[in-house]
Amino acid sequence: MSDVAHLAGVSTATVSRALSGRGATVTPETRERVLRAATDLDYHVNHLPRNLRLRSSRIIGLVISDIENPYFTAVARSCEDVAQRQGYHLVLSNTDEDAGREVASLLTMTAERVAGVILASTGQSNEGVRRLLATGIPVVALDRRIEGVDVDAVTVDNEASAYQAVSHLIGLGHRRIAIIGGPRTASPISERQSGYEAALRDHGIPVDQRLVRQADLREHGGHRETLHVLDLEDPPTAVFSVNNLTTIGVVRALRDCNLHFPAQLSVIGFDDSPVAALLDPPLTVVDQPTRQLGARAAELLLRRVERPDAPVQEVILPARLVVRGSTGPPPDPA
Amino acid sequence: MSDVAHLAGVSTATVSRALSGRGATVTPETRERVLRAATDLDYHVNHLPRNLRLRSSRIIGLVISDIENPYFTAVARSCEDVAQRQGYHLVLSNTDEDAGREVASLLTMTAERVAGVILASTGQSNEGVRRLLATGIPVVALDRRIEGVDVDAVTVDNEASAYQAVSHLIGLGHRRIAIIGGPRTASPISERQSGYEAALRDHGIPVDQRLVRQADLREHGGHRETLHVLDLEDPPTAVFSVNNLTTIGVVRALRDCNLHFPAQLSVIGFDDSPVAALLDPPLTVVDQPTRQLGARAAELLLRRVERPDAPVQEVILPARLVVRGSTGPPPDPA
DNA sequence: TTGAAAGCGCTAACAG
DNA sequence: CTGTTAGCGCTTTCAA
């Protein structure tokens, strides 16, 4: 940088002003000279000292629980689009639903003084979040609320969408509807279960706890729990799967049992994908607004980076039931 | 930090040595005192000055062309696992096959002085790579070679695997085999096309250019090009799709035309996934070793971070044909 | 509008 | 083994 200053015949302060041009006042002519000198010397700014001086970087962290889940990658993509447009870069970190990894990630991000963090928390510890906030780094909760801290959040109206999905099944005549759920610690999952229970209750159908299963949020869990409910003496006529990965397991289980949907069993999954529409028949699903989730989260975060003490905001987005071929009336009573 | 030094009754240099403990020599007793002081004051190290001083961060960049492609997320996951185990963090950047975004990403990573970069290049410009290397930041090519620069690389033996896939079809009796390819600029794609041509040639089958299609690497392209070849007066009896996203389009096109595989047309796709096995019948695919690709790339990079002038290494991993139900003998001549 | 100079908070020579 | 000291390369007051 001092080389550039020399060549342009100015001070390093002026080079800085000319190049970063942040509200700085430089003669167009001086700027021109500096720019040319920088080009001639193939000079490119180094962010390390800048970050130190500014006590922050233009990087925002996105911490998700499963990088291989299309739901999160869709969210990540839209986050990145928004961030990039504002001149921020995205650091992606994958926790695998492991609270320890989550904390470790957040501590590193704190140490690196990222500009802010968007977090889909495992919900098992908020130590990492507390340190971020203590260091003055804003946090936006994505997909899941974070217990015990008051931060901006972008979530989906899980209860309403589950209610709608289950009501659809009830409307088709189903009475025995299984739910393949997950750990209650994740708020979206427990909200979907609540929506399921509310829909049954409102239609005068008692909740049969044997039909309420908790799987891991993987294909394996969906497969196992589906086999479990199919094995009951009074099996369900419909299955509501609350997660895209478990849905794959559900479909595989039906395939294994040689059961066809919707003739023998109706299926509703969560999250849409090109492949959901490719199954035969195509899957009825609850489609989450992933694009918007990511974009809104990034917007909320960047807004707060600029105005750290704006009022806390919570955005709840609606999901939408996409009715396709995997749901139909229950089979005639055996 | 100076607060901690005060409380522990030592200098900041000793605090640094005690906390980062890099080959540093501190009495266990002193370290103990420093650690306690740090805990008492809730002190946590700030990487910004450290990065400046060390002229580098412990962050490695991973630049991919499509964050929503399961192939790349699987690679990213294994990269991150390896990196994290060595105390590095991963910055993920998505270029969307856009050379401009690729260059911009690499310039930012250069400015942030990441420890190294793993790059699946669009192959349209190596300006970003040149600046990285000029700044002394190592680069590993992933999936695709980078023209004009001599760097470590981890790729798949695309030609051999395509050869194997097409030979499988020929062995079943197919003679008219279409390939749904992509832009030749991406080396894996053009290698797969070469493998396709070699297999035909070795079996005495002429290459019919009307069956060689170049799609974008998206679902849409696969769909369109499949419809195109099906519309020929002499349509193929088998389709080889060289990309996981185009394969989805291929399957959708067959669905649209009410064609069943393998009875009326055999299909081979690229990249395995839980869903490929769920289609009815399940898809025959070329399964790339994504786990290994990511892990080897990260290992190569970290090795080079430590020994910058080790000899350049190129790792070529084999892919494997997984024969399932979507391939069978061609239909009886009409 | 520009320059001089101070400093961001660590790390690493060097001396003791 | 530990302290002193000198930076890392920018940004930003403050004064001219």
Phi and psi of B317, rounded to 5°?
-100, 145
Residue A296 contacts by C-beta under 8 Å, 6 or more apart in sequence?
A: A154, A315, A317
H/E element, A284: strand A284-287
Q: Which of residues 18-37 of A touch strand C (CB under 7 A)?
A: 25-27, 29-30
> Is it the case that residue A290 has pLDDT exceeding 60?
yes
How confident is the model over B111-134, as a mean pLDDT? 95
Residue B307 contacts by C-beta under 8 Å, 6 or more apart in sequence?
A: none
What Å value separates CA B54 and C1' C12?
Answer: 10
Structure-token pair, residue A306: 């600029």
Note whether A132 contacts B: Cβ–Cβ < 8 A.
Answer: no
**Predicted pLDDT of residue A184:** 85
Phi and psi of B177, rounded to 5°?
-120, 120
> Is it the case that residue B61 has pLDDT exceeding 60?
yes
**Predicted pLDDT of residue A19:** 92
Pick the closest to residue B92 from A77, A86, A98 (CA basis): A77
User: B194, B272 in Cβ contact below 8 A?
Assistant: no
A214, β-bridge pairs: A181
User: Nearest CA to the C1' of C11 belongs to which residue?
Assistant: B53
User: B210, B241 in Cβ contact below 8 A?
Assistant: no
**Predicted pLDDT of residue A54:** 95
Question: Minimal Cα–Cα distance from B137 to chain A, Å?
Answer: 13
Phi and psi of B217, rounded to 5°?
-90, 45
Residue A112 contacts by C-beta under 8 Å, 6 or more apart in sequence?
A: A57, A59, B47, B48, B51, B57, B59, B89
**pTM of the predicted model, to two decimals?**
0.94
DSSP B121: -
* Cis upstream peptide for A281 (omega within 30°): yes
User: A215, A221 in Cβ contact below 8 A?
Assistant: yes
Chain A residues with CB under 8 Å of B248 CB are 274-275, 278
DSSP A60: E
DSSP B136: T
Mean pLDDT across chain A: 94
- Measured distance CA(B140)–CA(B120) in Å, rounded: 9
> Is it the case that residue B23 has pLDDT exceeding 70?
no
CB contact under 8 A, A67 and B77: yes
**Among B46, B70, B274, beta carbon nearest to A113:** B46
- Measured distance CA(B89)–CA(B59) in Å, rounded: 5
Pick the closest to residue A181 from A211, A203, A141, A201 (CA basis): A211
pLDDT tens string A122-167: 988 899 999 999 999 999 999 999 989 999 999 999 999 999 999 9
3-state secondary structure of B64: strand
Structure-token pair, residue B151: 């760097």
pLDDT tens string B202-260: 999 999 999 999 999 899 999 999 999 999 999 999 999 999 999 999 999 999 999 99
CB contact under 8 A, B74 and A80: no
pLDDT tens string B84-94: 999 999 999 99
> Is it the case that residue A23 has pLDDT exceeding 70?
no
- Per-position b or e across A310-328, b if 16+ CB within 10 A of its CB: eeeeebeeebebbebebbb
A53 touches strand D (CB under 7 A): yes
